Amino acid sequence: MSRGAWVQHRTRDNPTMNLLSVLIVSFLCFTIIRWYTETKKKKYPPGPPVRPIIGNILKAPSSGAWYILTDWFKVYGNLVFLHGLGNRILVVNNFEIISELFEKRWNNYSDRPKFTVAGELMGLEQNSFSLSPYGPRWREHRKLVHLAVNTRAIQNYHGIQEDVAAILSSDLLRSPEHFLEHLYLASGRIVLLVTYGIFAKDIKNPYIVDAEECMEILGKALNPGAYLADIIPILKYLPSWVPFQKEAQEAKIKFHKNAELPYLHVKKLISEGTAPQSFLKDLLSLDNMDPDFDHRAMWVTSVMYGAGTETTFATSATFILAMALNPEVQKKAQAEIDRVIGTDKVPTIADASKLPYTMAVLKETMRWHPPVPLSIPRRTTQDDTFNKYFIPKDTVVIPNLWAISRSVANPEQFNPDRYLDKNMSSSIPDPSEWAFGMGRRICPGRYLAENSLKAIVTGILATFDILPPENEIILPEFTSTHVSYPKPFRCQIRPRSQEKEQLIKARVLEVKVT
Ligand code: HEM
């Protein structure tokens, strides 16, 4: 057979290839026409140099993006625009502009982007309301979450949070070298108890292991340039044996299992009449006639668990790192706790309001290394103009929280006094106003998270000294994942005195959660 006849024969026999070629050619034509008409007419915000058709979109970094985006901020300013191949990304590097867009212009900036891989192929757009479009389904899910974590409801969890913090202290006493595991377990325990009423005995608890795997997958998938299919959506039609398709299918199954297993467990306990108090139990006892309600309750609970564990862990691990590196700050906070609360007690969550310096340490922890440096992106639903720049419909908007965190004097310095010194504090936006996002999609779990962190931080400072390892310098390094936390490091965590050791042992005996 001649070469030409062979090619003809192969193409005739392969309808997938035929369809794919037509799709690719149509996509390219569409992109060229759109690129030409758009770039000639409009004044976009500045950004890295563009090339025909691909623009500058392929420069979108795939991990640790906040460092690169913040370098661009120094070159291009508060708004940085990437576009090409039918995509547009706007990076916003300034607190006031993010508030203007997300809060005042919320009706155009509350949607989420279409993540082809995480949203469509992994099924999260349908099920996980944190990625779902702004609309009735999102509203239904968000209403349910609000029931569990509004400012009044979270007061019911103080006992759980203080007890878990007490167990954490006892774990740190027993094996301080495993402090990162203990912190992860404590963060998971709080959310697992609140959402499902389940007490995780150790880090190998299957729900904790499953959720950790899911967060790892999601962490990768949410980075702006992680999958080419997010930039060229037509690639989603590639056959199922292509590596990213296989990854997405496996992830979809994992996410479903992660939502279903604890849900089925709680349902079983409810039917046996032995289910402890939990958010899911409350939801399932609501008299709801909607046939979809159980499915919604299952996913809402799972999303809360996923969103709450890693972020709380990231903040508490950053806190330990900051304390090991800043002994004077640590001593000052310990002195405040001893003076205000006394040396024979562990502070409660209610005590936190009496501890301004210690709370400034917590704020500075969230600023020094924000746990979610690029938040979760949004998408414009209409064309907009800001400062004479054109922001088209369907632009992915990334609020660069990392850039906000660096917008203070000496950003690498860990200095809680920024929030207390009157000359400095007015110029620094409090991290509780931006580290949890802004506007309609602001983190619904922020009050719960803040209380967990208050219990963990004050509990540790009251009873332990955190020191760098002997004869070793700690070089602070962080993961490049969507939720970013310190890479494993060593430090010494020792009870401040024998009395403190006794205090930890006595407090853990009073724990009610099991
Ligand atoms: C230190 C801890 C936490 C941090 C730093 C954090 C940060 C964030 C950020 C930056 C967003 C994106 C908001 C936006 O689009 O503007 C978010 C969304 C979200 N967070 Fe948190 N979060 C934390 C803890 C929690 C907890 C404990 C829960 C639940 C119990 C939770 C549940 C959620 C959910 C469900 C969303 C999606 C909201 C939506 O799309 O409507 N988070 N969080």
Are 407 and 431 in contact by the 8 Å Cβ rule? The answer is no
Q: For residue 5, what pLDDT is reported?
A: 46
Nearest CA, atom 21, ligand 1? 443
pLDDT of residue 511: 93
* 187 ligand 1 Cβ < 6 A: no
- Determine the Cα–Cα distance for residues 291 and 209; give it in Å rounded to an integer: 31
Is residue 372 within 8 A of residue 315, CB to CB? The reply is no
The larger pLDDT score, comparing residue 164 to residue 285, is at: 164
- What mean pLDDT, rounded, does the chain reach? 90
Cα–Cα distance, 457 to 187 (Å, whole number): 12
Minimal-distance CA residue to ligand 1 atom 8: 436
Is the CB of 436 inside a 6 Å radius of any atom of ligand 1? yes
Q: Which of 32-46, 89-103, 332-346 has the lowest mean pLDDT?
A: 32-46
Confidence of residue 4 (pLDDT cuts 50, 70, 90): very low
Question: What number does the ligand 1 atom closest to the CA of 401 have?
Answer: 10
How confident is the model over 63-79, as pLDDT tens digits?
678 888 888 888 999 99
Contact (Cβ atoms closer than 8 angstroms) between residue 467 and residue 324: yes
Task: Flag whether pLDDT at 336 surpasses 60.
Answer: yes
Nearest ligand 1 atom, CA 377: 15
CA triplet 289, 290, 291: central angle to 5 degrees? Answer: 105
Per-residue pLDDT at 255 exceeds 80:
yes
Q: Say yes or no to pLDDT of 133 above 50.
A: yes
**Each residue's pLDDT tens digit, 369-389:** 999 999 999 999 999 999 999
DSSP state of 18: H
**277-284: average pLDDT:** 91
Q: Measure 390 CA to ligand 1 centroid, in angstroms.
A: 29
Residue with tokens 């300034």: 94
Query: Given the CA of residue 440, which atom of ligand 1 is nearest to it?
Result: 41
Q: Whose CA is nearest to atom 34 of ligand 1?
A: 443
Nearest to 406 by CA among 34, 26, 72, 99: 72
Does residue 448 line the site of ligand 1, with CB under 6 A?
yes
Q: Is the pLDDT of residue 225 over 70?
A: no
Hey, how many other C-beta atoms are within 10 angstroms of the C-beta on 416?
A: 24
Residue 234 CA, ligand 1 centroid: distance in Å: 30
Residue pair 416/363 in contact by the 8 Å Cβ criterion = yes
> Confidence band (pLDDT; 50, 70, 90) for 41?
low
- For residue 367, the CA-to-ligand 1 centroid distance in Å is 16
Strands 87-92 vs 396-399: parallel, antiparallel or unpaired: parallel
Q: Give the tens place of pLDDT for each residue, 431-469.
A: 999 999 999 999 999 999 999 999 999 999 999 999 999
Best mutation site among 401, 438, 443, 452 for ligand 1, i.e. most ligand atoms within 8 A of its Cβ?
A: 443
Q: Specify the range with the lowest mean pLDDT, choosing from 197-206, 287-296, 366-375, 426-435.
A: 287-296
User: Ligand 1 atom 43: the closest Cα is on which residue?
Assistant: 443
**Ligand 1 site, residue 79, Cβ cutoff 6 A:** no
Which residue type, as a one-letter code, is found at position 404?
Answer: I
pLDDT of residue 30 exceeding 90: no
Residue pLDDT, tens place only, 382-408: 999 999 999 999 999 999 999 999 999
Report strand pairing: 79-84 vs 87-92: antiparallel
d(Cα 270, Cα 12) in Å, to the nearest integer?
A: 59
Question: Distance between CA atoms of 221 and 242, rounded to whole angstroms?
Answer: 16
Backbone angles phi, psi at 505, to 5 degrees: -65, -40
**Binding positions:** 443
Q: How many of the other CB atoms lie within 10 Å of CB of 274?
A: 8
Cα(372) to ligand 1 centroid in Å equals: 9
Fold that domain 43-510 belongs to in CATH: Cytochrome p450 (1.10.630)
Mutation to probe ligand 1, out of 109, 131, 436 (largest number of atoms < 8 A from CB): 436
Q: Which residues are annotated as a binding site for heme?
A: 443
Domain segments of the chain as ranges: 43-510
ipTM over 0.90: yes
Please identify which residue in the block is written with the tokens 């690719």. 24
Amino acid at 388: K
Residue 424 has pLDDT above 80, yes or no: no
**Kind and range of the H or E run holding 494:** strand 492-495
Verify whether ligand 1 is closer than 6 Å to residue 309 (CB atom): no
For tokens 């005195």, the residue is: 497
Q: DSSP class of residue 382? A: S
Residue 256 has pLDDT above 50, yes or no: yes
Residue range 232-249, pLDDT digits in tens: 889 999 998 998 999 999
Q: pLDDT over 90 for what percent of the chain?
A: 69
Q: How many CA atoms lie within 13 A of 31 on its CB side?
A: 21
User: What pLDDT sits at residue 10?
Assistant: 47
The whole-angstrom separation of Cα 100 and Cα 120 is 30
pLDDT number for residue 46 = 92
For residue 417, pLDDT beyond 90: yes
Ligand 1 centroid distance, CA of 28 (Å): 37
